[in-house]
Chain A
């Protein structure tokens, strides 16, 4: 078995009396899509925040790309190759689609303490940005303000921005949220094509998408990982059926 890209070791996060993350140990291997599912309030977002470095775990460890990153700042994890898209669409609304991605390229290129050169005409940033927009199917919309893009397009833009960092692991927080069926299907095809280059940890409510895409699934309930396995194993798991999938899968 290949060495996992991302591995958590008995992560614990408490909020007062609430155990939001209860000894969670998961891993993501290169080239795979690992889906994290669970009902609302299961602690998915809290877990994502610990992985990205927004909040620190109370105990346990996070290893990424062979390093202990438990105490590393968010931007440093990004530099190591941990890219993410947000649950709530998070683009720079006052910037055009191209400028959004160009900034993402700039973020990956290293420090930006350059005060005099005009970054808006820097082809070293705009060239790759244009290619990324083409790749996610937004080539035509390069000059449009992000605020004016449709919801689905903004999600595509998010992914283009995450890809600009050439991440070895993509953390996708509900990428299908608010998308129509057709848009979702397009995104599913796109993500599948992407997984050879970028492993993914997928947090998603859309079960169709999860079972179509995931190589492995971990089910989170009340902060605990109650099951982990292939989509077929998860479908057949009685605990999962009772706790989460309920009638839907029965």
Chain B
């Protein structure tokens, strides 16, 4: 544990986690409440990115529809809330169950395909969910739906920004802990082996499909959790939270941070949010009005990462010791 702190990776990760752990205190001290809201979204998106990393990073399964789990988790909470069920004890399990069941179902169908077809079919399912969401006129349609935050009477008040942030942060830590165990478990090694050489793993007697389906389902459940949190963060759900662009952002985050690296999703999310917030003002500084086109800088940056830093930000922090 202490030895890990002496590597650049260990030090950077420890610092990030430390700052995240005390973020509400910092933002209060410096009176920057807007930053806490960004911090909360970073933590929630990190959970989603961890869940995508579980299939994309360790399984090599490029799911181009992961934001649909934002939608499933979010809408389950939103619809229940609109129907007057405000208890989190009901909302959250229902939302998790819905995300898990949906992941198992579409996983069972999409995992029969490979490569580009898998990308397209996951995208297609995500679009399906998206259009169902925008077709739900009773629940706001395209405009989305204002909701009240889940209630956990006597336990925690999610309307309190700091409490809600700490809850999200605790769930992120739990996700990272689980993902770390998962990656090196018997299950994780089979998944990673199948990423490396599916035919070989089959010849060793592993029913690869079942392992991938289990991974996809777990990732879907965790993705659903991030959707629940996202809905509670803004007290609002809308189809936009599951657009294909959000799915693309999640892939970018995982690739940027380092596929198959435990903390990669965390680095990736932070880098993504920081660039998204910092690039427009920087470009506006260079020339007024350029800020709008921050993607012109961001895009090539991703290309550079893809070309020269295959392991993403994680690989820039030195070699990994497994």
Contacts and interface: CB of A to CB of B under 8 A. Distances in A.
Query: Which of the listed residues A52, A107, A113 has the most CB atoms from chain B within 10 Å of its own CB?
Result: A107
A243 B289 CA distance: 77
Nearest to B200: A90
A97 interface: no
B108 interface: no
B181 A78 contact: no
B203 A92 contact: no
B164 interface: no
A103 B193 contact: yes
A95 B206 CA distance: 17
Interface string B179-214: 001101111111011001101111111111001001
A186 interface: no
B197 A90 contact: yes
B79 to A, nearest CB: 31
Contacts of B196: 92-95
B199 to A, nearest CB: 6
A112 B205 contact: no
Interface string A49-92: 00010000000000000000000011100110001101000111
A52 B205 CA distance: 11
Nearest to B187: A115
Contacts of B197: 90-93
B322 interface: yes
Query: Which of the listed residues A92, A114, A120 has the most CB atoms from chain B within 10 Å of its own CB?
Result: A92
A75 B214 contact: no
Given A103-B190, A120-B322, A115 B185 contact: yes
A116 B180 CA distance: 9
A149 interface: no
Interface in A205-223: none
Contacts of B182: 115-116
Contacts of B211: 112-113
Contacts of B202: 74-75, 78
B184 A103 contact: no
Contacts of A117: 181, 185-186
A107 B187 contact: no
Contacts of A74: 202-203
A107 B186 contact: no
Interface of B: 178, 181-182, 184-190, 192-193, 196-197, 199-208, 211, 214, 322
Interface of A: 52, 73-75, 78-79, 83-84, 86, 90-95, 99, 103-104, 106-108, 112-120, 122, 161, 164-165
5 contacts: A52-B203, A95-B192, A106-B190, A107-B206, A113-B214
